[in-house]
Structure 1
Amino acid sequence: MKTILITGGAGFIGSALVRYLVNEANNKVVNVDKLTYAGNLSSLQSIENKENYTFIQADICDMSAMESAFKEHQPDIVMHLAAESHVDRSIDGPSEFIQTNIVGTYTLLEVARQYWLTSSEEQKNNFRFHHISTDEVYGDLGNTDDLFTESTSYDPSSPYSASKASSDHLVRAWQRTYGLPVIITNCSNNYGPFHFPEKLIPLIIINALAGKPLPIYGNGQQIRDWLYVEDHARALYKVVSEGKVAETYNIGGFNEKTNLEVVQCICSILDELITDKPLSVVNGATGNFSDLITYVADRPGHDVRYAIDASKIANDLNWQPKETFESGIRKTVQWYLDNEAWYTAILDGSYQGERLGLN
C-alpha cells in the first residue's frame, strides 16, 4: 500500500481525486489543504472517517509545515493540485496567484527534493512528484482547427495561466537540474459534482434554479474541451501509476463546446427536469430557461478556443473518458438538483457571486 500526499485535496478536482483514491485504489491518502474560499471539507464527508485517509490543514508556502508532513507520513507519491485557479480572480488580484502557484510550487519542490535525496534507494526509485496543470498555459488556439499537444509552445494569456506556466517550468527544471522524478499533466476544463459556484457550469445551474440571469461573456462563442472530473481523477491515477518520469500527458474530454452551447444544453436539461419553474422563466418569451441567457461584457484577454489532443495518454496508457459531455452534464445537473444544501452553504458564506453576476 502506497502513501499518496495530495495538495489541494479539498478543492474541486482534488476532492474528486481523493474520493477516488480512498474508495477505489488501495492507497493511504494524506490530503494537505489550506482551506481557502474554494476548499470545502464537506466535499469529502463520505470518506473523512476512512482509515486510509488523513487531512492536514496547511499552506504549501509554509516550508516547515510541508517538511513536517513529509517527515510524518513518508509519501511514496506527491500529487500537487493546490492552486489558485479562477481567471477572473487572477485579473482582479494576481498577487495570490503568484504566491500560491509559483512560490508554493517552489516550496513543495524543495521539500520533496530534500525528502527524496535522504530516502532509501528503493524509495528514491519509486518516488514520483506529479504536478497537475492546465491547458491554459498553451494560450489561445483562436479559430484554427489545431489542438494542444504536449509539445505546444507556452503562450499564457492571463495572470492565472502565466502563474501555472511558471510552475510547470519550475517542475521541469527540478527534474532536469536535480533529477527529481516528476510527471506533468495538463488538463482541459473540468466539470461535475462539488464544483465551486464561481465557475461557468455550476453558476448557470444555480442561477437558473433561482430564476436569475445566466451571464455569458461576449458572444458566447468561446470554445472549451470539457472533461468530467471523475474521468480526470481516473486519468491522474493512471498517469502517476504507469506514466514515464519526465513526461507530460495532456488529458482532455474529447468534447469541444462553445460556452453558449454549454449553457443551452443545461437549460434544455432543466426544462425537462423542472416542472415548477421560477416566475422569471414562466413569464419569459418562450417559458424556457434559455430566456434567462444574458450577454455581458467580455473579460480582458479572453481566449477564444482551447482544445486538447489526448492521443498520447490514450495510446501510451490506454485511458479514455467514460463520460460523453451529454452523459456527464446530465449527471452534473442532477447532482446540483439533489444537493442544494451543499451549494447553499457556500453562497451563505464567503462566496457572493463576484464578477459573473450571481447577485
Structure 2
Amino acid sequence: MPEHRIRINADFWKGKNVLVTGHTGFKGTWLSLWLQGMGANVTGYSLEPPTNPSLFELCRMEEIVSSTTADIRNMPALTAAIKEAAPDIVFHLAAQPLVRASYMNPIETYEINTMGTVNLLEAVRQAVKSGVPVKAVIHVSTDKCYSQLDEARGYRETDRLGGGDPYSNSKALTELIVSSYRQIYENEAGHSNAKVALASVRAGNVIGGGDWAEDRLIPDCFRAILQGNAVNLRYPQAVRPWQHVLEPLHGYLLLAQHLYEDSQFAQAWNFGPEDSDTVTVEEVVSHLCSKWGGQASYLVDQAEHPHEAHVLRLDCTKSRNLLGWSPRWNLDTAISKSIEWVKGYELKEDCRELCSKQIQEFVEGSELHDH
C-alpha cells in the first residue's frame, strides 16, 4: 500500500455521487456539508433529525442535499434510494448511537445497528447487480466495538471485538457483518465489472458545535452552562479518546479516496486522538468550564448508573502509516472550536456559515501540517 498520501483531494470529490445514511444526525450533517462544499452530489437516507434543535435544520441542508426520509430497517425503500442515487461511494452512519438508550431499548438498538447494516450492505449488493456503479462503502463503527479490557494501551484493529452494553455489542456485531459482506462482495466481483471495496472505521468520542444529543457529555455541558446550571458528571474518571468531529470525518474522506482506487484498503481503521488527548471526563469538563469562563461549573453525580467501559484508547498507527492520516486539532483546540460554535449559535449567527468556516480552517490547518 502507498504511504503518506495525505491530503483530501477536493477535485476527487467534485461530481462524485455520494450516499450518506444517517445524514440528518450531528456527524452526518458535518460530513454532508463537507462533501457538498467540495462539489460532491450528496444524497441522504435517514429518519427525521434526531434532536430539536437540529444541526441539519439549522444548516438548511435540505437546500443543498437530496434526502430520502425513511428507516434503515425498510429494505425496499433503502434499495430504491440507492438505485436512484446511483452512488459512487456510500458512507453508512445511520445507527442508534447512545449507550444509555441501548439499555432502555436493546431490541431496537440491535435491529437498527445490526439488521440496518445488513440491509444497507445487501441493498448495495442488489444495486450493483442492477448496474449501479458503487465502488466503495465505508461503515462507521465505534471505539466501543472492542472487547472492553480496560488496557492502558490503545485498541488495535486486530484486537478482539466484544462490547458489554447493547450499543457496543451491536456495533461489534456490525463489524462481523461487514467482514462477511466483504467476502461476499469479493466472491461476486468476478461475475461483474464492479468490485465493491468495503471498510469499517472506528473513532473516538467526537465533540463539536451542533450536537444536541441527550446523555452525551459535551452537549450536556453546553445545555447546563447556557441554563446557568452546574454540569452533572456521571462517570468523572472514565477515560475517553476525545476529538473534534472533523478529525474522524477527515479520516473517512481520506480512506474513501484510497478505497475507491485500491481495494487493498478494504479493512478496519482506527481514527483517534493523540494519547495526550485521551483523558478523563472530569479533565475535559474542567477544561471546558475554564475556557467558557463566567459561572460555568460542574459537580459529580453520586448516583448509580449503567456500566460503561472505564478506559477506551485507540492505537492509530495503521491509519498514520498507511493512509497518511494524523490528528490536526488537539483537545484544547477542539474545545475552543466547540465553544466558538456554540457562542456563535447563541448570537444567532448562520449555522451553515459557522460549520463551513470551521471546515475551511481545519482544511487549511491540515495543509500547513503537510509541508
Shorter-chain TM-score bucket reads 0.7 to 0.9
The question of whether the paired residues in 1 share the 8 Å contact of 2:152 and 2:311 is answered with no
Candidates 37, 53, 56, aligned match of 2:50: 37
After superposition, residues 247-266 of structure 1 pair within 5 angstroms as 247-254=267-274, 255-266=277-288
The question of whether the paired residues in 1 share the 8 Å contact of 2:23 and 2:29 is answered with yes
Give the Cα–Cα distance (whole angstroms) in 2 for the partners of residues 67 and 322 of structure 1: 37
Candidates 253, 257, 268, aligned match of 2:290: 268
Q: Secondary structure at the match of 2:199?
A: strand
TM-score, length-normalised on structure 1? Answer: 0.83
Are residue 137 (structure 1) and residue 145 (structure 2) matched?
yes
Query: Displacement of 1:60 after TM fit?
Result: 1.3
The question of whether the paired residues in 2 share the 8 Å contact of 1:90 and 1:159 is answered with yes
Q: Secondary structure at the match of 1:64?
A: helix
Candidates 208, 233, 237, aligned match of 2:225: 208
The question of whether the paired residues in 2 share the 8 Å contact of 1:139 and 1:303 is answered with no
The question of whether the paired residues in 1 share the 8 Å contact of 2:17 and 2:88 is answered with yes
Give the Cα–Cα distance (whole angstroms) in 2 for the partners of residues 22 and 47 of structure 1: 10
Supply the AA of the counterpart residue of 2:226.
L
Query: Displacement of 1:245 after TM fit?
Result: 4.1
Give the Cα–Cα distance (whole angstroms) in 1 for the partners of residues 57 and 338 of structure 2: 14
Name whichever of 220-229 and 29-38 sits farther off.
29-38
Query: Displacement of 1:97 after TM fit?
Result: 0.6
| Count of residues in Structure 1 that have an aligned counterpart in Structure 2 | 317
Are residue 105 (structure 1) and residue 112 (structure 2) matched?
no
Give the Cα–Cα distance (whole angstroms) in 2 for the partners of residues 47 and 8 of structure 1: 13
Give the Cα–Cα distance (whole angstroms) in 1 for the partners of residues 28 and 286 of structure 2: 28
Give the Cα–Cα distance (whole angstroms) in 2 for the partners of residues 78 and 118 of structure 1: 17
Name whichever of 2-11 and 225-234 sits farther off.
225-234
Supply the AA of the counterpart residue of 2:27.
I
Candidates 305, 314, 317, aligned match of 1:308: 314
The question of whether the paired residues in 2 share the 8 Å contact of 1:213 and 1:294 is answered with no
CA RMSD of aligned residues (A): 2.0
Name whichever of 190-199 and 13-22 sits farther off.
190-199
Give the Cα–Cα distance (whole angstroms) in 1 for the partners of residues 244 and 113 of structure 2: 23
Are residue 9 (structure 1) and residue 23 (structure 2) matched?
yes
After superposition, residues 1-359 of structure 1 pair within 5 angstroms as 1-23=15-37, 25-35=38-48, 37-38=50-51, 40=54, 42-43=56-57, 45=59, 47-50=61-64, 53-119=65-131, 123=133, 127-142=135-150, 144-179=151-186, 180-198=196-214, 199-218=216-235, 220-243=236-259, 244-254=264-274, 255-271=277-293, 274=294, 277=295, 289-290=296-297, 292-340=298-346
The question of whether the paired residues in 1 share the 8 Å contact of 2:44 and 2:67 is answered with yes
Query: Displacement of 1:341 after TM fit?
Result: 8.3
The question of whether the paired residues in 2 share the 8 Å contact of 1:30 and 1:55 is answered with yes
Give the Cα–Cα distance (whole angstroms) in 1 for the partners of residues 160 and 32 of structure 2: 31
The question of whether the paired residues in 2 share the 8 Å contact of 1:172 and 1:246 is answered with no
Q: Which runs of 4+ in 1 moved over 3 A?
A: 38-44
Give the Cα–Cα distance (whole angstroms) in 2 for the partners of residues 13 and 77 of structure 1: 17
The question of whether the paired residues in 1 share the 8 Å contact of 2:55 and 2:211 is answered with no
Name the CA shift for 1:336/1:264 in 2 (closer, same or farther; >3 Å): same
Query: Displacement of 1:46 after TM fit?
Result: 5.1
Supply the AA of the counterpart residue of 2:158.
S
What residue in structure 1 maps to residue 8 of structure 2?
Answer: none
Name the CA shift for 1:13/1:57 in 2 (closer, same or farther; >3 Å): same
The question of whether the paired residues in 1 share the 8 Å contact of 2:45 and 2:67 is answered with yes
Supply the AA of the counterpart residue of 2:305.
R
The question of whether the paired residues in 1 share the 8 Å contact of 2:255 and 2:265 is answered with no
Name the CA shift for 1:65/1:44 in 2 (closer, same or farther; >3 Å): farther
Q: Secondary structure at the match of 1:35?
A: coil
- Identical aligned residues as a percent: 28
Name the CA shift for 1:331/1:56 in 2 (closer, same or farther; >3 Å): same
Query: Displacement of 1:313 after TM fit?
Result: 1.2
Query: Displacement of 1:68 after TM fit?
Result: 1.5
What residue in structure 2 maps to residue 352 of structure 1?
Answer: none
Q: Secondary structure at the match of 1:71?
A: helix
The question of whether the paired residues in 2 share the 8 Å contact of 1:154 and 1:165 is answered with yes
Supply the AA of the counterpart residue of 1:26.
G
Q: Secondary structure at the match of 1:32?
A: strand
Give the Cα–Cα distance (whole angstroms) in 1 for the partners of residues 84 and 333 of structure 2: 42
TM-score, length-normalised on structure 2? Answer: 0.80
Name the CA shift for 1:341/1:140 in 2 (closer, same or farther; >3 Å): farther
Give the Cα–Cα distance (whole angstroms) in 2 for the partners of residues 37 and 79 of structure 1: 18
CA offset digits 1:266-296 (Å, max 9, x no partner): 110122xx4xx4xxxxxxxxxxx33x41323
Supply the AA of the counterpart residue of 2:17.
T
Supply the AA of the counterpart residue of 1:270.
W
The question of whether the paired residues in 2 share the 8 Å contact of 1:34 and 1:59 is answered with yes
Gaps of 5+ in 1: 278-288, 343-359
Query: Displacement of 1:242 after TM fit?
Result: 0.9
